[in-house]
Structure 1
Amino acid sequence: MKSRYFPYSDFLNATLGARPSYAWRSILHGRELLVQGLVKNIGNGKSFKVWIDAWLEDGLMRPPWRRNNYFNPDLRISELIDRDKRDWDEEALEYHFLPADIIRIKKIKPVVETLSSNQTTREEANRLPSLNPVKAQVWDLQTDPKIKVFLWKILSGALPVATALISRGMRTDNLCQICGEEDESINHVLFTCSWARQVWALSGIPSPVEGFQNETVQKSCEDWKEWAEAQVVEEEDENGGSSDDQPRRVSQNCGTDHLLKRWKRPPKEWLKCNVGVSWSSRNRLAGASWVLRDYEGNVVLHSRCALVSVMDKKDAQFKALIWAIESMKSHRVEKVVFGLEDACLVKVLAKPSVWPSFRFQSMEVGRLRGSFRDWKFFLENSFSNRGAFFIAQSVTSDCRLQSYVDRGHPSWLRGLFAEEMVSSSV
């Protein structure tokens, strides 16, 4: 009832509104009688205005006298309460009121609430902007009714995506069925999924400043042809080397694993940096790690760090890569192969012109290009990148937030790296 008739006020100040029901008319008819016998006491003070409401008892109920010439007419009584001490704020009382009124105020015991989880959730929801005006505008659009219904379902969170189904007790895979990388939410399906971002980029529709790049793709036929070619595995055979000695730049469909699961060694005179990422959606914490190995598979260095306030897994992958590149720069590594599990990010770095919606990522990585004689990006699978992933996972699973750099590999992963060294030589 509050959301319909008085969303921005309280019951005592609510108006009749447009198209009121018979029940609401009846309630307002009896409200005047209710107000006559209503006595308001100071509770948490959120509904009382200090200088307007009569809340101080001095023979008759009256507002307190003002001590200062300049005052805030919207000051609430709740702002005079010290929640830590669960009593009045002495400094605030001394600043606003005369001594006689301070004595009267201290006779009133304020109520300091301990919010339950449900109350906290409601307060957070009340602070968020309401979508009701936007939902009302949907029905005024000059379009087909089914499109209006679809837009209304988006705003109401009523689309049957995986996260919504799981929240209603259904057992289903929470990963996106298109890219397989993030939780399938409404926002992900429509905006942040790599395929959705590609569609938005190709559509030419203006995009948010902090979201997708506002750009129309020129020569759509040629670009679509390039994009289609980017979906296949490209064999890189530079400097006359064979495919076994040179790393491959892989651009496969998101979610598709390598045919070869084992870790692949870098070319001679190169180093390989495997980047691992673990992201927790519960506390927006990400663990990042890199493991640097030579041609023979020996671990030269490894490192770990914690990334806070990371909004999604794709953002965690990108931030981890930037951190790994800057680390290689600081360690003066000149020729390096970066092994990543994010197939879309590898494709973006291989052909930035085909992925205009990821221009920010490609430009940020390209900015660091001058620090290296040469570099390559290689798509790893979860099996071949498990060493780096286990180190990163220690941040999110064991809450190991300390960052460090160390020689060799962690002692608790000795067997894993020894196994990968042997398998890569076969």
Structure 2
Amino acid sequence: MQNQNSLFFKCFKARYFPRCQFLDAAVSPNCSYVWRSIVAAIPILRSGSCWRVGNGESIKVFVDKWIPNYPSNRLLHPVHEGEEDWRVSDLIDLDLHGWRRDAIMATFNREDAEVICKIPLSHRRVADVVVWLHNKEGAYTVKSRYHVARKVLREWAESSTGAGQQLWKKLWKIRVPNKMKRAPETVIHAIWECPAAQDVWAAGMEIFVVQAWTVWNQRNSMVHGRQMKHPCWLNKRAADYMEEYRIAQEQLVVLNTISSGHHWQPPPQNMYKLNFDAAVFMEQQCSGVGAIIRNAQGEVMAGMSAKGSYVRDSEEAQALACRQAVVFTFYHGSWIFRACS
């Protein structure tokens, strides 16, 4: 999804989803096992991802998730008929690099319109990208996917129709003692959410993951002709890994504590340092941005301050301040600089 120029992506797109986006793809007749496995994960990816607006050409206004920090990340209110095929690019003034505010306010519900107009747009014609909502960097991680998968699986397990109902019908038909088929609580609750189960996982999940990794490593070694290690050695190796990791983390905390000073450090000779910051003014419903460029002697080369649009939190304000500061540097010549918030 992120590297669409890779050979892997190009091959799979040409074969399995040539006329749609990856998140809209489905299983096709005679497709490979790899593709079936990938498609099986799409509902989780779709649930945890959202479009980041670039030029808006890939995003369907009334279908896709593209509004950050908004319930369901979609429009909440219906609009007039005949506009279902709109793309987000139809709402952007490409010459001014901003939203067509008058058209948006006239077309959409006021609540939706105001949220749309607050979405920051790039000053360059960059492509739209899909970002992961459950990570501050917008990057997919296995840990965050686990929490999304739990939510999706719980909703599926608690449903009484569709695929969930078919599964329970098949479950009751299998030939095992009835006591094994009784389920006074949902499977998800029994395995993950029950306090007793959570105590077990909290105590043993880490060592279980490390042991699973050592077993897999052992399997790979045997495939490549090495001898099998005794199970006791594998258990000891897993415990050693855990201890090494714990010590490394403690040392990392100490190093971070030592190097956490807030004194301004000058850049190397022949370089300039850009410092910027942002503030959110709740009462005035606006934000503020400040930036300063200094040389190796600490002399001020340029500075700026500006009033910005209202943002929801400090992280969004810092991101907008970073963009404004970088634009500011390019307007004042070709600098070789280091940026620090």
Could you say whether these structures have the same fold, taking a TM-score greater than 0.5 normalized by the shorter chain as the test? Answer: no
Q: What TM-score results when the alignment is normalised by the length of structure 1?
A: 0.24
Larger Cα Rg: Structure 1 or Structure 2?
Answer: 1
Q: What TM-score results when the alignment is normalised by the length of structure 2?
A: 0.29
Higher relative contact order (CA 8 A, sep 6+): 1
